[in-house]
Amino acid sequence: MAPTRVFEPVIDQHDTWLVANPVQGCPKGCAYCYLQDLGQTRAKPVVLATPEETVQQLLTHRYYHPDLVVALYTCTDALATPVTRAHLTALLDALGASAVRNPVCLITKCAIPDDIVACITRNRAAGLPIVVYLSYSGLGPDIEAGIDHDALRANFPRVHAADIPVIHYWRPFLPQNSTPEAIERVMDWVTAYATCTVAVGTKVKPTALEQITGLWPQLADPQLDPQAADSIWPRPAWEWLQHLPDRYADHRIFQTNSCALAYVLGRGDRAEVFNTPTCLTANRCPAAQRDRCHRTVSHRPPVSQEDVDRHLAKIGHPGLPYTLHPGTRTVVLGQALPLRDRHNLAQVLAVTVRSPEDPAERYWPGRLSGAQPLIIDPRP
């Protein structure tokens, strides 16, 4: 039986960015998609807010802050249908004409036609920073049902030629796309066009274990706890990234999306990644960006109890008990909060948030809870 269709808030907060989801439901059928258990894959897109309503809701939302990145249409692929493409064009034009100057991200696996490229270009010229994420992982139509992979590959030179920043989104890693041959087919294509790559292992929601074990049966091993991991990697892919072939040495590869965005946008770290093991050993970051992060972090104003009190009240939790450790910019909450609220607190104040876990949470806390990657050896 198909899952009941569940709609997310139009304005929401994820671990890397604010999101605007005025259209929800994707006609594609990617087997790993986190929308699957919401009944939002192989589904007709539904318009929940007009472009003008979306801009108004964004600017008045309790989560809104001018420094945050905004990702558009994370509950659909905005390039998938004529309806979603028309909505995207109107929304970008509405954002470009508004006071919003947050960096805006558009993520797609579908062909980007010339009129959308022109729309992005004119709104970038108007001062709206727009970054395109092209989600290309070398998986086939058996897993990414409905995706035209030739059209997806053709996006890279087209968007690059228009001088629009391109981030290659390499996710998820499964055994099917983790051989050196599969990895290098992807990399040989994208490195000519993408500013950088974000390489992300498989992430497993609390509600999606059966879904992911259908793709990767080894994760059903009772000795493993894939839902407690930040991400899950086949060892061949993990090792390949640790020992990058020389021909890719100048291509920037990040395992943390926030760091890739900081690099592309010319910003310093706001996600408390700088100088962590992930920063020092996982991310392949240029020296100039590390210097930028060093300057940003060392000159950041200290966070105060008043800052935390004020923002907790703004997001609807006045008087919530917590302990602030100013030296490490860590806020330890005294009770569980929805993950979206914790993410927003962390991003707006540039702090680390620790909290009891909410047993009803549907999404993965990942590094927010200190989780680490899980590396899976291939079966003999």
Closest residue by Cα to residue 269 from 233, 298, 243: 298
Amino acid at 157: P
Residue 3 is predicted with a pLDDT of 79
Residue 365 is predicted with a pLDDT of 63
- Taking only the tens of pLDDT, the chain with its 380 residues reads 667 999 999 999 999 999 999 999 999 999 999 999 999 999 999 999 999 999 999 999 999 999 999 999 999 999 999 999 999 999 999 999 999 999 999 999 999 999 999 999 999 999 999 999 999 999 999 999 999 999 999 999 999 999 999 999 999 999 999 999 999 999 999 999 999 999 989 988 888 889 999 999 999 999 998 888 888 999 999 999 999 999 999 999 999 999 999 999 999 999 999 999 889 988 999 999 999 999 999 899 999 999 999 999 999 999 999 999 999 999 999 999 999 999 999 999 999 999 998 877 777 665 656 678 899 998 87
Q: Are strands 196-199 and 232-234 parallel, antiparallel or unpaired?
A: unpaired
Q: What is the pTM of this model?
A: 0.95
Asked if 324 and 338 count as a contact pair (C-beta separation under 8 A), the reply is: no
Closest residue by Cα to residue 279 from 266, 292, 71, 349: 292
Residue 370 is predicted with a pLDDT of 66
Q: What is the 3-state secondary structure (H, E, C) of the chain?
A: CCCCCCCCCCEEECCCCEEECCEECECCEECCCCCHHHCCECCCCEECCCHHHHHHHHHHCCCCCCCCCEEECCCCCCCCCHHHHHHHHHHHHHHHHCCCCCCEEEEECCCCCHHHHHHHHHHHHCCCCEEEEEECCCCCCCCEECCCHHHHHHHHHHHHHCCCCEEEEECCCCHHHCCHHHHHHHHHHHCCCCCEEEECCECCCCCCHHHHHHHCHHHHCCCCCHHHCCCEEEHHHHHHHHCCCHHHCCCCEECCHHHHHHHHHCCCCCCCCCCCHHHHHHCECCHHHHHHHHHHHHCCCCCCHHHHHHHHHHCCCCCCCEEEEHHHCEEEECCCCCHHHHHHHHHHHCCEEECCCCCCCCCCCHHHHCCCCEEECCCC
